[in-house]
A and B are shown apart, each in its own frame.
Chain A
Amino acid sequence: MRFGTEPLKEYKKKAILTLVLSGVFAGALLLTFLFRKEGPSPSQRKDNPSPIARQEMKIPEIGELSPAAETAAKSKRTSIIEFQRVAEEALQILPKKRDVGDMRQEEVHQTPSIFVQKIQPLIKINRIVRENPELKGAAFTFYKTCAVREDFMTAVRARCLNHLRKLATESGQSLDLSPFPEAVRKLSEFIPF
């Protein structure tokens, strides 16, 4: 039987444990409170996330390439491998017929603004070719691939064919137009280069 000092020791142990636990709990509460006070309000968080959150939440803008391809597109000197990366991504982003989907009458009455954003990769390709004439051969392949894609919006195909014709003219080559439908050929001539 352990009577006498034994219950007192137990009591002390429990008291110390309770104090420690209370301290930890209070500390946690205090920290939570402090973070809530210093952090932005929910509405602020939505519009203005912290730099870390912004990095984690980074969603590419419409028509924007991946960071690596974006760097290549912005660089004055672009290698053939970098160009191919930009070109591959461009083919994925450029406006497609399926994008019209369930667009409302109001959205398509004029050229949908999302399509004007989505042709950004084509603009970047054009820029790369202007700054890196040695890539004209690779660009030729890109424009041709783009102009024959049946799932692309006709206007995209026509613009690609327009650039293809321009490259062919500049290099004195004749261009076989048989792979391109009549509508695309005709529209590619609508705006002279």
Chain B
Amino acid sequence: MVSRLFLALVLFVPTFAWSRNILYSASIPRDEIELLNTDLVRPMDLVDDIPDFKELLGVGDLSRQSLLGWITERVGYLVAETEDINGLVSQKYEYQNPGILPEFEIPKGLTEIPLRSSPDHLPSRPGVVMSNIGVHIYYRGKEKHTLMDYAFQDSLSPSQKTLLAIKSPRVGILQIGKELFSRRINEGDERALSNSIFRLATLFHEAHHSDGKAKSLGFFHALCPKGSDYNNINACDSAANGPYHIEALFIRQAILACQLEKTCSDDEIERLAYIGVDLESRVLSDAIWDGTPEGI
């Protein structure tokens, strides 16, 4: 009983009354859970020099509590890359904005949309850093006018599975891969602040895929145009308020804090800056998409 209580304390991230605890699947190794929880609760004061990030998130300040609240509104469940992530067909269902779905651009030379940007093929192969599978399952269900369930096995009670009805992408199911932990800004210390910044930035990106409705549902990535760095790959955003800009802005504000408080080395800052600028370079337009969530 005591050990179970201890486990619950370790695995739960404290959040506010209006948000929820992020639950980890039994398929995620304990050390990865602990590392992510450390990231989520570590004190991190982002520099608040421009209003952009606050406005995009719709939060009043950049305190840890506000940011955690934003994340937990969009992320409820984390599952491992090894898990079967295909939803289960449940029953006929009337979705909000019926028949209105995002449009996908197929890369030249391919006959179908590749993984990750595709709602039809779920990214179940290794190599994934993090992926919002909740929105993919929701999309598939909406397309087929069928409610989909996801069988979630909580790390706190691994003997039983809970069926999650995916009535909104805001159910928030994210798949995390080994790449999330093997990619390092600071090679020597996986708990270094710079590594936390990278993991949290990725989390902000994926969390934002839980937003949007009708055509903007999921803020799916656009095909990068000819002449761009990632030409003919779905690795750009047609929205100025898409996941890449949010991720880039988080990195920007965190770098400024690092510079101010001297909590990262110059080398770490350059690596983070490169990533931030690379992500920002993928934003294709100034268009603002509707971020209102669907299904809630």
The interface-forming segment of A1-9, A65-73, A102-110 is A102-110
Cβ B235 vs Cβ A109 within 8 A: yes
Report chain A residues within 8 Å CB of B271. Answer: 116, 119, 123
Say yes or no: is A35 at the interface (Cβ < 8 Å to chain B). Answer: no
Q: Known: A105-B116, A105-B234. Is A115-B278 also a contact (CB below 8 A)?
A: yes
The interface-forming segment of A41-49, A132-140, A154-162 is A154-162
Shortest beta-carbon distance, A112 to chain B, in Å?
A: 9
Among B116, B185, B277, the residue within 8 A (CB) of A155 is B277
* Interface mask (B42-55 → A, CB under 8 Å = 1, otherwise 0): 00000001000000
Cβ B115 vs Cβ A156 within 8 A: no
Cβ B229 vs Cβ A154 within 8 A: yes
Cα A156 to Cα B278 in complex, Å, equals 8
Cα A187 to Cα B279 in complex, Å, equals 10
By DSSP majority rule, is chain A's interface helix, strand, loop, or mixed?
helix
Report chain A residues within 8 Å CB of B246. Answer: none
Cβ A105 vs Cβ B277 within 8 A: no
Report chain B residues within 8 Å CB of A153. Answer: 229, 278
- Near B by CB (< 8 A), chain A positions 83-122 give 97, 100, 103-111, 113, 115-116, 119, 122
Cβ B115 vs Cβ A106 within 8 A: yes
Report chain B residues within 8 Å CB of A103. Answer: 233
Q: Known: A100-B230, A122-B270, A187-B281. Is A108-B235 also a contact (CB below 8 A)?
A: yes
Say yes or no: is B295 at the interface (Cβ < 8 Å to chain A). Answer: no
Number of interface residues of A (CB under 8 A): 32
Cβ B277 vs Cβ A187 within 8 A: yes
Cβ A190 vs Cβ B183 within 8 A: no
Q: Known: A105-B234, A111-B274, A159-B277. Is A116-B183 also a contact (CB below 8 A)?
A: yes
Cβ B123 vs Cβ A106 within 8 A: yes
Among A97, A100, A106, A115, the residue within 8 A (CB) of B274 is A115
The interface-forming segment of B72-80, B90-98, B152-160, B248-256 is B248-256
Cα A31 to Cα B25 in complex, Å, equals 57
Report chain B residues within 8 Å CB of A191. Answer: 252, 255-256, 273, 276-277
Report chain A residues within 8 Å CB of B182. Answer: 113
Shortest beta-carbon distance, A142 to chain B, in Å?
A: 15
Number of interface residues of B (CB under 8 A): 41
Cβ B273 vs Cβ A154 within 8 A: no
Say yes or no: is B39 at the interface (Cβ < 8 Å to chain A). Answer: no
Among A100, A109, A110, A122, the residue within 8 A (CB) of B229 is A100
Report chain A residues within 8 Å CB of B127. Answer: 104, 106-107
Say yes or no: is A130 at the interface (Cβ < 8 Å to chain B). Answer: yes
Say yes or no: is A183 at the interface (Cβ < 8 Å to chain B). Answer: yes
Nearest residue (CB) in A for B131 is A109
Cβ A155 vs Cβ B274 within 8 A: yes
Say yes or no: is B202 at the interface (Cβ < 8 Å to chain A). Answer: yes
- Near A by CB (< 8 A), chain B positions 185-243 give 185, 202, 205, 221, 228-231, 233-235
* Interface mask (A171-193 → B, CB under 8 Å = 1, otherwise 0): 00000000000010001001110
Say yes or no: is A78 at the interface (Cβ < 8 Å to chain B). Answer: no
Cβ A159 vs Cβ B273 within 8 A: yes
Report chain B residues within 8 Å CB of A14. Answer: none
Report chain A residues within 8 Å CB of B274. Answer: 111, 115-116, 119, 122, 155-156, 159
Q: A109-B129, A116-B274, A159-B277 are in contact. List 15 more A-B contacts (CB 8 A).
A: A105-B115, A106-B127, A106-B128, A113-B179, A116-B183, A119-B274, A122-B270, A123-B267, A126-B270, A155-B229, A155-B281, A156-B274, A162-B273, A187-B281, A190-B252
Residues of B with Cβ closer than 8 Å to A? 49, 114-117, 123, 125, 127-129, 179, 182-183, 185, 202, 205, 221, 228-231, 233-235, 248, 252, 255-256, 266-267, 270-271, 273-281
Q: Which 10 A-B pairs have CB atoms at the shortest separation, nearest pair first?
A: A155-B278, A155-B277, A106-B127, A111-B278, A105-B114, A111-B275, A108-B235, A154-B281, A191-B273, A123-B270
Task: Provide 9 A-B residue pairs closer than 8 Å at the C-beta atoms, listed in order of the A residue.
Answer: A110-B275, A111-B278, A116-B185, A122-B270, A127-B267, A155-B274, A187-B277, A190-B277, A191-B255
